[in-house]
Structure 1
Amino acid sequence: MKKIHLLLLKSFIRPFLSTFLIVMFLLLMLFLWKYIDDLIGKGFQWYIILELMAYASATNVAMALPLSVLLSSIMTYGSLGENYELVAIKSAGISLTRAMYPIFIVVCILSVSAFLFSDYMLPIANLKYYSLLYDAREQKSANFLPEGVFSNSFSNNTIRVQRKDPDGQTLYGLTIYSKDPAKNTSFMVIAKQGKMYRSFDDKFLVIELKDGIRYEENSGSGSGVYMPRRVFIRQRFTSTAQKLDLSGITSIKRTDESAFKSAFQMMNIRLLKDTIKILDRKLDSIKVTNYTMMTPYIKYLSLPKKPTTDSVKAIAYQSDWFKKQPLNEQLQAITNAQNEARSITDMLKMRVAAIDAPVKDQRSAFAQYQVKFTLSASCLALFLIGAPMGAIIRKGGLGLPVVISVAFFLLFYIIKTIGEKAAHEGNMSGIVGAWIAIFLITPIGMFLSYKAATDSPIFDMENYRRFFDQAASFVKKTIGRKFN
């Protein structure tokens, strides 16, 4: 490997790793900001939050990787141009295309890795992430005892707290209704003050009650002797403790992941192909069923027994023949035609719901199949923009390159999101919707590569100022000649 190639690779890999980590961190903070209300106050163990953050980071690779390629390529070639290293490379007889060659190979390797990640790892990460996020959002709040509300968070217990101190542990005006289904007994506790805390193993919530009364009612049966009368017991206490089980509250209840596997984001290319084939066969079956049901309603045309793409030849309407018929037969023919058209319309309206859902699924599956390839293609397309852009602006670091990179990436991401949404909704073809952002920015990258290779001063503001000054002077001379 030539020294110049090694220099370029070192100049690219360092900013790529740093920008990738920074973008991943920012996207992770955005995830926490978005779902902070669904995660805080539910008593999750620390490893549950860490697991959810890991899955969220894996799903963010699809956005972080293209942006990192764009940022690092602009920073690399901008820094080389700012330090006149790019000029030295060109003076040695090495063109910009050859200078882009080693980094282009690295980006191609990243693109292949991105495709493999999108096909193998991303569906698993999406499945784990969305299933865990759904369970976390469905989890009950860990604010077990809100003020002034009868809380049923604990099984067989209803607790009301009149007031709580700001520390959230000191309670006032407690009322506890508890029932033991095994012994068929129940009791009520009323206390003026209490304090709650968790046990050392985090399995129980302990409430220390002070200055209260306990009312208990049971059947009175004991020692095998049946007593028809019930026993009522009243006890006064200065201090006691009530222990409540937390196992069904703090531990997150996981939903079976198979319930989420039908989503297209959780499928790889092979599963998407099989799903598209199944949906195509289902649509063909529905079309045959609709055709069979519609055929008996058409009485005045001879239709083939099976659906066909060939047009059905209808008999030309002969107005002279219709006018020669008696008036009652004309009215009867018009009535029959209206009834037939109305029957076919009503039947088709009923069958729309049966075909609408499979059509949407087939469209979404095909669009998602195309999206699998766009991640790797977007890395190459954004590199074609970033590398020549950095060579043109000749600015390194995190200043102007970051602004330009974010502007291009926002344009790319907005177009990509709109195209994919239109493809899923059927407003655009699946291929066009998934690839429209690539189709639009690739010519821009090729144009910038040409300008950078020919040392075109595309961002030289002095040239633009000189052009507008010449245009203004030309307009003034033209206007002066016209009035003279």
Structure 2
Amino acid sequence: MKLAHRLIFKELAVTFTLSVSTLLGVLLMGRMIQLRELLMGHDLGFLDLMKLFFFMSPYFMLLIAPIACMLSVFLTFLRMSSDNELTALKAGGVSLYRLAPPVIFFCIACTAATYFISFHGISWGMNNFRSSVVEFARTKSRFAIQPGVFNRDFPNLTFYAKNTNPETGELMDLFVRDSTVEDAPVIIMAPYGKITTKPDEGIMEVAFRNGRIFRRGKGELNVLSFRNYTVRVPIAMLIGGKFFDSSRISEQSVATLQRMKNNPSEKLLRDENRWRKVHNELAKRYSLPFGCFVLGLFAMPVACVFRGLNQQYGLSLSLGLFLVYYTLFSIGSSLGESGVAPPTVLQWIPNVLFLVIGLVLLRYTNLERVPSVLERIMHIKARRAES
């Protein structure tokens, strides 16, 4: 049995890795299309793109992990059933319950990893994603300040620097024309400047030293000397500002969400929609990772019930069952966010429902019986096939 358990766990792990890689690749490719405006202006290499995708992965893993866990268990036991391995084990006196330990251990491991991602990984990944994009914008974008070139990629701003150091952000002999105010353009000249970034705000700051500001207006020219002067460039508006909102509820850690719930600010209390989103997101972070355990146990007897099914059809069936689960979860999330009922209750309904059905199916499958509902469905299908 130890050998059988090791082989089953190994196959579960391999299938899980392939499922996660495939699903994550599809979702990241879809997100890359959404980020095309952000990425087109950058001279990014393959490793830079992989770095961005790595930081985005935890955000998607919260959804991918449950379905990958379900696919792993379903496809593994469907293959064992199709190859008559389960029949041979049962003939040797091995019940389905004795094959459950590697599945349970695998589901617990996936659940624990997903909870870690839910609690810490999402906020860590998105914070690093924003930091990386802003840093790439400063050093590798087409609108980074190039030496000896008038850079007009910023709206209403023209930058010129005689010498630049992209690594340190230092600039020499600076010239900036600010035409934000149409009737009163401003010229800034300084011998020295430095670029700094603030990833949390999604901005680039150009700090000037010991320069002068020339302002023309109403037929006269005003000159102002300064020791320190800073121009703030809104990079977030240029390369997709929606990805730089660090206050988004869906990107906060569980600790931050819990703190917002227990000690809400007056602004949060006044914003009823945002207040409900905090409760809804917090319930989601606890309920969705547990879906790994529930769907994994649910998939085991379902694969045995539909033994002999082609793996392509089995994959479609598994995805369809997960779609049912996620639809129920989405409905509960929407109702919880609208304030119809407590989000914690609504978002745990799919877990409880699938867990109960999975345990019932596991009992029937171990007794080599089929629930009457499934028996009728299979009987009707057989009659249609004969006719």
Q: One fold, TM greater than 0.5?
A: yes
1:428 counterpart SS class: coil
Sort the Cα spacing of 1:58 and 1:16 in 2 relative to 1 into closer, same or farther, 3 A.
same
Sort the Cα spacing of 1:33 and 1:451 in 2 relative to 1 into closer, same or farther, 3 A.
farther
CA drift at 1:27 = 1.5
Pick the aligned partner of 2:342 from 429, 435, 444: 429
User: Does residue 1:464 correspond to 2:377, yes or no?
Assistant: no
Sort the Cα spacing of 1:57 and 1:272 in 2 relative to 1 into closer, same or farther, 3 A.
closer
Report what 2:176 is aligned to.
Answer: none
CA-to-aligned-CA distance 1:411-459 (integer Å, 9 cap, x gap): 2222222322322232331212332332333333233323322323537
Q: How does 1:73-92 map to 2 (within 5 A)?
A: 73-92=73-92
Letter in structure 1 aligned against 2:125: A
RMSD across aligned positions (CA): 4.1
CA drift at 1:86 = 0.3
Sort the Cα spacing of 1:134 and 1:22 in 2 relative to 1 into closer, same or farther, 3 A.
same
Report what 1:273 is aligned to.
Answer: 258
CA-to-aligned-CA distance 1:165-224 (integer Å, 9 cap, x gap): xxxxxxxxxxxxxx98659xxxxxxxxxxxxxxxxxxxxxxxxxxxxxxxxxxxxxxxxx
Unaligned runs of 5+ in 2: 145-150, 161-185, 191-232
C-alpha distance in 2 between matches for 1:55 and 1:422: 30
Sort the Cα spacing of 1:93 and 1:415 in 2 relative to 1 into closer, same or farther, 3 A.
same
Structure ID, larger Rg: 1
Contact 1:31 1:56 in 2 (8 A): no
Report what 1:365 is aligned to.
Answer: 278
Report what 2:12 is aligned to.
Answer: 12
TM-score, normalised to structure 1's length?
0.53
Contact 1:131 1:255 in 2 (8 A): no
CA drift at 1:48 = 4.6
Report what 1:67 is aligned to.
Answer: 67
CA-to-aligned-CA distance 1:378-420 (integer Å, 9 cap, x gap): 0011112211111121247741121011111222222222322
Instruction: Name which of structure 1's ranges 437-446 and 73-82 shifts more when overlaid on structure 2.
Output: 437-446
Sort the Cα spacing of 1:250 and 1:130 in 2 relative to 1 into closer, same or farther, 3 A.
closer
C-alpha distance in 2 between matches for 1:29 and 1:464: 42
CA-to-aligned-CA distance 1:82-115 (integer Å, 9 cap, x gap): 1111011112222112212222112112211211
**% identical equivalent positions:** 17
Sort the Cα spacing of 1:142 and 1:422 in 2 relative to 1 into closer, same or farther, 3 A.
farther
CA-to-aligned-CA distance 1:251-310 (integer Å, 9 cap, x gap): 999999xx855433343333322221212xx67xxxxxxxxxxxxxxxxxxxxxxxxxxx
Report what 1:403 is aligned to.
Answer: 316
C-alpha distance in 2 between matches for 1:276 and 1:33: 35
C-alpha distance in 2 between matches for 1:27 and 1:131: 21
Contact 2:249 2:278 in 1 (8 A): yes
1:153 counterpart SS class: coil
Pick the aligned partner of 1:446 from 346, 359, 362: 359
CA-to-aligned-CA distance 1:32-65 (integer Å, 9 cap, x gap): 233334432x134335533322222222111221
C-alpha distance in 2 between matches for 1:445 and 1:90: 20
TM-score, normalised to structure 2's length?
0.65
C-alpha distance in 2 between matches for 1:277 and 1:377: 23
Letter in structure 2 aligned against 1:19: S
Unaligned runs of 5+ in 1: 145-150, 159-178, 184-247, 284-352, 470-484
C-alpha distance in 2 between matches for 1:254 and 1:32: 13
Contact 1:78 1:394 in 2 (8 A): yes
C-alpha distance in 1 between matches for 2:291 and 2:259: 26
Equivalences, count: 303
Q: How does 1:63-462 map to 2 (within 5 A)?
A: 63-129=63-129, 152-153=152-153, 155-156=157-158, 182=189, 260-279=245-264, 356-357=270-271, 359-395=272-308, 398-457=311-370, 458=374
